Amino acid sequence: MTPITEPVHLDARHITDAWTALPSWLPVPGLGALPINAFLLKGREPVLVDTGLAALSDAMVDRLSAEIDLVDLRWIWLSHTDADHIGNLDRILSLAPNASVVTNFLGAGKMGMMGKGNPERLRLLEPGEVFEVGGHRLHQVKPPYYDAPETMGFFDEADRVLFAADAFGALLPGSVDTIEEVPEESLREGLVAWSSVDAPWLAQIDRGSLGRMLRALDALEPAHVLSGHLPVAHRLDTLTEIVRGAYGRGTTAAVTPETAVQVEAILA
Ligand SMILES: [Fe+2]
Ligand SMILES: [Fe+2]
């Protein structure tokens, strides 16, 4: 693992013939590094999923432009409107004149209040609506935990790709190219640390309902698990097992209030 001392964008990574990851890493002093990922679905109507960090804007635009002509970009699926997901939204919208933002009513409202995006370039999804794009059917998935109520993950039936937004993210000791390089213990500790910060209410969640949500995700049997904050994973059950083991049993002591404040400060 490579220690991360400043935000860094890595090279694009091929996931399937259609899906590509655009990974970057953000240092979290004293705690390691947090992956910040965007993803690209190529095809007749290319879809960018999230837009990365503003601090890495040039690198993000370069990586994206190397994959597709931005004039061809048709959709930008926003998982939610946090700064680490919409950091380059306005810049990419200005460079990609044919792209519209895919979000829901609440996401659109929050963007409006922040003065982000363009109200004339929105495709609002109804609850439960399947987004059909270039031969892919993206089924909306509410991740088992999240930090913004507009959060929309999805499951792509065709490529068996699950996108979980902030869920299953992990603070890791340093950057890696693949999740296989992360020792099991680092993954467990990092996933519990991140989830405790991202969704502190997990500590109070009913064990039964958490278990049902995780089982429903496992039943999708994704071949690829995409999180905004984890290298691309291929075994969802490894991740759901960590979450199942860490929560639903009362308060977790994994993260101190100081840790939470520190992480929130760097993402603000
Ligand atoms: Fe978030
Ligand atoms: Fe995030």
| Distance in Å, CA 220 to ligand 2 centroid | 23
| Distance in Å, CA 201 to ligand 1 centroid | 14
| Distance in Å, CA 121 to ligand 1 centroid | 23
Say which ligand is closest to the CA of 24.
2
Confidence at 237, pLDDT banded by 50, 70, 90: very high
| Distance in Å, CA 82 to ligand 1 centroid | 5
Distances (CA, A) of 172 to 84, 129, 190, 209: 17, 35, 5, 28
DSSP string, 123-186: EEPPTT-EEEETTEEEEEE--S--SSTT--EEEETTTTEEE-TTTT---BSSB-SSGGGS-HHH
What single-letter DSSP state applies at residue 10? P
| Distance in Å, CA 239 to ligand 2 centroid | 17
Pairing between β-strand 161-163 and β-strand 153-156 as defined by DSSP bridges:
antiparallel
| Percentage of residues in the chain having pLDDT higher than 90 | 90
| Distance in Å, CA 31 to ligand 2 centroid | 16
Structure tokens, 20: 């590509």
CA 46, CA 58: separation in Å to the nearest integer?
20
| Distance in Å, CA 147 to ligand 1 centroid | 5
Q: Check if CATH label 3.40.50.300 holds for domain 8-267.
A: no
- What is the per-residue burial (b if ≥16 Cβ within 10 Å, else e) of 148-163? bebbbbbbbeebebbb
What confidence tens digit (pLDDT) does each residue in 134-162 have? Answer: 999 999 999 999 999 999 999 999 999 99
The environment of the single-atom ion ligand 2, i.e. residues with CB closer than 5 A, is 84, 166, 228
| Distance in Å, CA 165 to ligand 1 centroid | 8
Say which ligand is closest to the CA of 50.
2
Spell out the residues 6+ positions from residue 99 whose beta carbon is closer than 8 angstroms to its own: 48, 70, 73, 74, 75, 76, 92, 93, 121
Structure tokens, 233: 């994973």
What confidence tens digit (pLDDT) does each residue in 195-224 have? Answer: 999 999 999 999 899 999 999 999 999 999
Say which ligand is closest to the CA of 146.
1
pLDDT at 182: 97
Distances (CA, A) of 7 to 36, 53, 131, 221: 10, 9, 33, 33
Q: What is the mean pLDDT of the chain?
A: 94
- Residues 25-34 have a mean pLDDT of 94
Give the helix ranges, DSSP H, for the chain: 57-67, 83-86, 89-95, 105-114, 184-198, 207-219, 236-246, 257-267
Distances (CA, A) of 217 to 115, 148, 162, 221, 242: 34, 19, 9, 7, 14
Say which ligand is closest to the CA of 227.
2
| Distance in Å, CA 99 to ligand 1 centroid | 23
pLDDT at 252: 53
| Distance in Å, CA 91 to ligand 1 centroid | 20
pLDDT at 42: 98
